[in-house]
């Protein structure tokens, strides 16, 4: 009998069948990958398991007994732990305070701090995840914070650990370390549910795989007996090109030149004397673990953040001091990393989302007045051209899937036909099919002679698209190399702070 | 498709995709009905008949000459609703409408009394002057936010006090104060420099036309102008607006100026159309600014709904006065009604979340 069984789970949202009679079984000590594109129902299934949602039909059996979770607290009491993609930690508190929160060892009315620290240290020791119990969480790097989330779950005696896209924020080395921890936990009898769409991770670490598509289970596989192509077929229902073919490039004139750009954040240099030059017809990839100054660099180029020193030259024009609108007019467009927070307005219609930035000039506007008919036609044209799945242009974009929303953003930014395109994590959190489409679009832009600055924490993306690669670490460019000389190991070395001299 | 990015919490499924217009309108209707039920119950509890209350409210607001009273009250109230709704539409707050109203009224009175112009141009100058002073004063809060990061919620509110105090001081000075009246006030504005009634005997003046045109203009700008589009986008997502090239600092000043100018104009209309002098505290006593803010919140800043809500509140208030006069049901009940409506509308988000 399986340790965990989710039986015949059905969950309906208005107009959507998120889980359609889904069965999932997990054995004790197993690493079980749950895969699927965005909107396939993975998150809903995990939310049901963690007590965040109640199923409309079906039930959960744990150790042979049927259980009902009314809240995550119930789920935690039954030994289920979840590490969310965005960590749920108190940054101003210490490691031990975060771990024992709500389960503090007490002495009388007071928290027994000494005992708590001892327990945390022992726990960390036992699972081979060294942390300093007295460190303040806000000072810790992302990889350690994730370890903390896992320890938090283990402290609550988790026997089933749900990891939601756990490597999204990690360096390749940190990811490898995490896989080691996962294997050790599994060997100790803990079951792990790994929610991800990264094929190589699933192949590397999981024992079995359940694939969802449109709310239904489309495949159950033993990892040892399957292949990435087979998994992708189960996820998408078709054959997908995992790498888009790429023609050799012939870079032309320099379009964007950055000279010793420094950007301050509080009292440190978020970007430290970065220089780069970008020519038409090439894709310059900026690799690096998220949070090493790439975001600040891009914001400074766009004018969303002031430059402390240095120069930004676009098409021969110094734009260092120009406001954002003027920079866009001078030939910049920008696919922002966070499509929901920055690059779209969820409650606004597709028409409005596609029109912002074009709304001051003909044909969409004249004399300060909008031409609503032209806006409608404009939106319909882009929706058709990019194959965006949406009922009509009046629908609010907050209802779209990640991939479709990203297509809205990309459609709008490519429509600017700007000399330089900044693409920041253009495929983050979008499904495999959309990745293929977006990569092909970016390459087409390059081949049409546009210059593209591609910022991505996803090495596979950098390696698939870039012609040259810069690696950023702690605000500096620590390596610059042509694509031909780069591979995952070399980039991973620089991303973790390795210096060129040491290589 | 669950239509959700993995970055979001799995606890929030998409909102039901009813017709957006219906789904936003139904809760308002429900809140109004609940408001009437609750205040009816309160009336019943204090020994009054709910049906009498309802009848007197409607008679007192809409029937016969009372309709004129409602329209007259709606002029400042809808004006102040627009004053609150425009910043709200952009995701900002102007709580200092009262101060801008008083400054505008005071400036209009002084221009109407002392400007060396013929009567006709003097009225126009007083109206424009009132609007400019109100607008300029509201822009101060915007400048504070742009350059010193003082939240406008606080600064706009606090700036109202010195404005009121300054005008109160002016009308107490020997030069400006009319010694004949007991209350600190300016001299009386000559009849040639007043707004004229549109109908014989009705309290509705040209000020009504001004506010009606203004409301239409605000709605048109919201729907059809690039400025309105940028304001709407900012209200929906400020980061998105900035990313798309909207100059937020300049927009903040523009929006606050427009908002304050409307408040100033309302002050001028009240002074030139019904009070005929600037009297200390007389413009703020009826709390148009407060009612206007509530109405704008009720409408979520959407201008058509805001104008409707402002008018509804004006009707409730006139109806309340009439009810108190004719059947001695305390007017306070209409305030209960207003409060319950607002409370229920603020709750709708929470109710919606729980039911999913």
Nearest CA in chain B to A164: B6
**Per the domain annotation, does A470 fall within a domain?**
yes
Same domain, A303 and A407: yes
Q: How far is B178 from chain A (nearest CA, A)?
A: 47
**Per the domain annotation, does A57 fall within a domain?**
yes
Q: Is B23 on the interface with A (CB under 8 A)?
A: no
Q: Is B244 on the interface with A (CB under 8 A)?
A: yes
* Total CB pairs under 8 A between chain A and B: 134
Same domain, A64 and A181: yes
Answer yes or no: do B1 and A340 touch at CB < 8 A: no
Same domain, A215 and A297: no
Same domain, A231 and A283: no
The pLDDT tens digits for B265-322 are 999 999 999 999 999 999 999 999 999 998 998 888 999 999 999 999 999 999 999 9
Q: Which residues of A53-73 are buried (b: 16+ CB within 10 A; e: fewer)?
A: bebeebebbbeeeebebeebe
In chain B the domains, ranked by start, together with CATH numbers, are 49-328 (1.10.3470.10)
Domain boundary among A185, A215, A236: A236
Q: Which of A38, A323, A325 sits opposite B5 (nearest CB)?
A: A38
Same domain, A190 and A83: yes
Q: Which of A53, A370, A401 sits opposite B229 (nearest CB)?
A: A370
Chain A residues with CB under 8 Å of B229 CB are 352, 355-356, 359, 370
Q: Is B10 on the interface with A (CB under 8 A)?
A: yes
**Given pLDDT bands bounded at 50, 70 and 90, which one contains residue A14?**
confident
Q: Tell me the CATH number at A300.
A: 3.40.50.300
Same domain, A98 and A191: yes
For testing the chain B interface, which of A51, A369, A372, A375 should be mutated: the one with the most B CBs within 10 Å?
A369
The pLDDT tens digits for A417-460 are 999 999 999 988 787 778 889 999 999 999 999 999 999 988 88
The pLDDT tens digits for A208-259 are 999 998 899 999 999 999 988 888 888 888 776 666 778 787 888 999 999 9
Answer yes or no: do A46 and B10 touch at CB < 8 A: yes
Q: Which of B14, B224, B244 sits opposite A357 (nearest CB)?
A: B244
Residue appearing with tokens 């208030």 = B317
Report the distance separating Cα B114 and Cα B193, nearest Å: 11
The pLDDT tens digits for A137-163 are 988 877 788 889 999 999 999 999 999
**Per the domain annotation, does A256 fall within a domain?**
no
Answer yes or no: do A53 and B10 touch at CB < 8 A: yes
Same domain, A178 and A108: yes
Looking from the CA of A253 toward its CB, the CA atoms found within 13 Å total 6
**Per the domain annotation, does A322 fall within a domain?**
yes
Q: Which of A346, A356, A369 sits opposite B244 (nearest CB)?
A: A356
Nearest CA in chain B to A299: B243
Chain A residues with CB under 8 Å of B9 CB are 52, 84
> What is the sign of the dihedral through the CA atoms of A200, A206, A208 and A213?
negative
CA-nearest of A59, A44, A47, A40 to A211 is: A40
Residue appearing with tokens 């936010």 = B145
Q: Which of B3, B236, B245 sits opposite A345 (nearest CB)?
A: B236
Report the distance separating Cα A62 and Cα A68, nearest Å: 10
Better-predicted residue by pLDDT, A383 or B21:
A383
Domain boundary among A236, A259, A281: A236
Same domain, A223 and A291: no
Helix H or strand E encompassing B191:
none
Helix H or strand E encompassing B226:
helix B226-236
Instruction: Say if pTM beats, i.e. exceeds, 0.90.
Output: no
Domain boundary among A190, A215, A236: A236
CA-nearest of A34, A134, A341, A26 to B239 is: A341
- Does residue A107 surpass a pLDDT of 80? yes
For chain A, the C-alpha Rg in angstroms (whole number) is: 24
The pLDDT tens digits for A50-92 are 999 999 999 999 999 999 999 999 999 999 999 987 788 998 9
Q: Is B236 on the interface with A (CB under 8 A)?
A: yes
Contact map slice: A 230-289 vs B, CB within 8 A:
none
Mean pLDDT score, A451-470: 92
Among the residues of A258-401, which ranges form H helices? 294-302, 324-331, 350-355, 372-385
Looking from the CA of A162 toward its CB, the CA atoms found within 13 Å total 25
Same domain, A26 and A99: yes
Strands A80-83 and A254-265: unpaired
**Per the domain annotation, does A368 fall within a domain?**
no
pLDDT averaged over chain A?
A: 90
Q: Which of A16, A344, A429 sits opposite B7 (nearest CB)?
A: A429
Same domain, A161 and A33: yes
Find out whether the peptide bond into A363 is cis, omega within 30 degrees of 0.
Answer: yes
Q: Is A185 on the interface with B (CB under 8 A)?
A: no
Same domain, A87 and A186: yes
Same domain, A228 and A284: no
Chain A residues with CB under 8 Å of B236 CB are 345-348
> Three-state DSSP class for A116?
helix
Structure tokens at A23: 């069965």
CA distances from A135 to A84, A96, A101 (A): 21, 8, 15
Tally of domains in chain A: 2
Answer yes or no: do A359 and B226 touch at CB < 8 A: yes
Answer yes or no: do A352 and B233 touch at CB < 8 A: yes
**Per the domain annotation, does A171 fall within a domain?**
yes
Structural domain that includes position A285: 272-347+396-502
> What is the sign of the dihedral through the CA atoms of B74, B80, B81 and B86?
positive
Structure tokens at A214: 């449109």
**Per the domain annotation, does A367 fall within a domain?**
no
Contact map slice: B 289-318 vs A, CB within 8 A:
none
**Per the domain annotation, does A116 fall within a domain?**
yes
- Does residue B201 surpass a pLDDT of 90? no
């Amino acid at each position: 009998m399986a340790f965990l069984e989710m039986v015949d789970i059905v969950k309906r949202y208005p107009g959507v069948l998120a889980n359609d009679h889904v069965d999932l079984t997990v054995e004790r000590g197993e690493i079980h990958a749950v895969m699927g594109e965005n909107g396939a129902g993975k998150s809903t299934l995990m939310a049901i398991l963690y007590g965040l949602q109640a199923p409309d039909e079906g039930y959960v059996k744990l150790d042979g007994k049927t259980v009902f979770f009314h809240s995550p607290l119930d789920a935690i009491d039954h030994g289920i732990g979840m590490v969310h993609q965005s960590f749920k930690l108190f940054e101003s508190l210490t490691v031990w305070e975060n771990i024992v929160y709500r389960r503090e060892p007490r002495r009388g009315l007071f928290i027994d701090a000494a005992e708590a620290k001892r327990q945390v240290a022992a726990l960390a020791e036992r699972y081979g995840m060294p942390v300093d119990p007295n460190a303040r969480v806000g000072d810790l790097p992302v990889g350690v914070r994730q370890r903390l989330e896992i320890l938090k779950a283990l402290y609550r005696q988790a026997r089933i650990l749900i990891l939601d896209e756990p490597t999204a924020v990690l360096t390749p080395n940190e990811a490898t370390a995490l896989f080691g921890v996962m294997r050790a936990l599994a060997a100790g009898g803990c079951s792990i549910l790994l929610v991800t769409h990264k094929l190589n991770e699933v192949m590397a670490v999981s024992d079995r795989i359940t694939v969802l598509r449109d709310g239904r289970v489309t495949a159950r596989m033993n990892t040892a007996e399957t292949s990435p192509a087979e998994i992708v077929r189960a996820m998408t229902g078709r054959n997908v090109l995992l790498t888009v073919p790429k023609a050799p490039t012939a870079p032309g004139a320099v379009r964007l030149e950055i000279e010793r750009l420094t950007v301050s954040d509080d009292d440190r240099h978020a970007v430290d004397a970065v220089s780069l030059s970008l020519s038409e017809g090439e894709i310059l990839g900026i690799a690096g673990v998220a949070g090493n100054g790439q975001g600040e660099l891009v914001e400074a180029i766009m004018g969303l953040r002031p430059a402390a020193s240095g120069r930004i030259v676009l098409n021969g024009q110094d734009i260092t001091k120009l406001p954002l609108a003027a920079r866009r007019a001078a030939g910049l467009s920008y696919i922002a990393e966070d499509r929901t927070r920055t690059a779209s307005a969820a409650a606004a219609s597709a028409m409005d989302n596609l029109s912002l930035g074009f709304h001051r000039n003909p044909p969409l506007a004249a004399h300060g007045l909008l031409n609503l008919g032209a806006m409608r036609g404009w939106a319909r044209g882009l929706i058709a051209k990019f194959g965006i799945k949406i009922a009509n242009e009046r629908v609010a974009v907050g209802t779209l899937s990640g991939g479709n929303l990203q297509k809205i953003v990309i459609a709008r930014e490519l429509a600017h036909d700007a000399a330089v395109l900044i693409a920041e994590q253009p495929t983050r959190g979008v499904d495999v099919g959309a990745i293929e489409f977006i990569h092909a679009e970016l390459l087409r832009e390059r081949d049409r002679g546009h210059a593209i600055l591609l910022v991505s924490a996803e090495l596979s993306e950098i390696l698939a698209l870039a012609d040259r690669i810069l690696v950023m670490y702690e605000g500096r460019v620590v390596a610059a190399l042509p694509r031909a000389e780069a591979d995952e190991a070399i980039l991973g070395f620089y991303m973790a702070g390795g210096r060129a001299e040491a290589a | 498709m669950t239509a959700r990015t993995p970055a979001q919490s799995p606890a929030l499924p998409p909102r039901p995709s009813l017709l957006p217009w219906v789904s936003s309108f139904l809760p308002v209707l429900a809140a109004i009905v609940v408001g009437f039920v609750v205040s009816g119950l309160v009336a019943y509890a204090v020994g009054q008949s709910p049906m009498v209350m309802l009848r007197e409210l409607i008679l007192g607001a809409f029937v016969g000459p009372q309709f004129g009273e409602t329209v007259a009250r709606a002029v400042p109230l809808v004006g102040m609703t627009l004053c609150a709704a425009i910043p709200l539409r952009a995701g900002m707050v102007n709580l200092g409408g009262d101060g801008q109203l008083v400054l505008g009224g005071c400036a209009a009175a002084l221009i109407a009394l002392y400007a060396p112009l013929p009567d006709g141009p003097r009225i126009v100058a007083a109206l424009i002057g009132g609007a400019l002073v109100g607008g300029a004063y509201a822009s101060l809060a915007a400048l504070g936010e742009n350059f010193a990061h003082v939240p406008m919620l606080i600064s706009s509110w606090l700036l109202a006090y010195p404005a009121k105090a300054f005008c109160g001081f002016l009308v107490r000075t020997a030069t400006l104060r009319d010694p004949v009246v007991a209350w600190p006030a300016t001299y009386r504005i000559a009849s040639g420099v007043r707004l004229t009634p549109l109908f014989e005997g009705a309290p509705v003046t040209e000020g009504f036309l001004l506010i009606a045109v203004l409301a239409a203009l605000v709605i048109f700008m919201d729907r059809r102008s690039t400025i309105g589009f940028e304001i709407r986008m900012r209200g929906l997502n400020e980061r998105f607006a900035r990313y798309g090239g909207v100059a937020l600092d300049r927009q903040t000043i523009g929006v606050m100026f427009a908002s304050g100018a409307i408040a100033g104009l309302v002050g001028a209309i009240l002074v030139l159309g019904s009070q005929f002098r600037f009297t200390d505290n007389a413009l703020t006593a009826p709390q148009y600014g407060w009612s206007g803010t509530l109405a704008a919140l009720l409408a979520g800043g959407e201008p058509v709904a805001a104008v409707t809500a402002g008018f509804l509140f004006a009707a409730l208030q006139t109806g309340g006065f009439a009810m108190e006069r004719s059947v001695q049901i305390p007017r306070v009940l209409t305030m209960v009604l207003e409060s319950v409506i607002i409370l229920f509308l603020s709750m709708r988000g929470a109710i919606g979340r729980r039911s999913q």
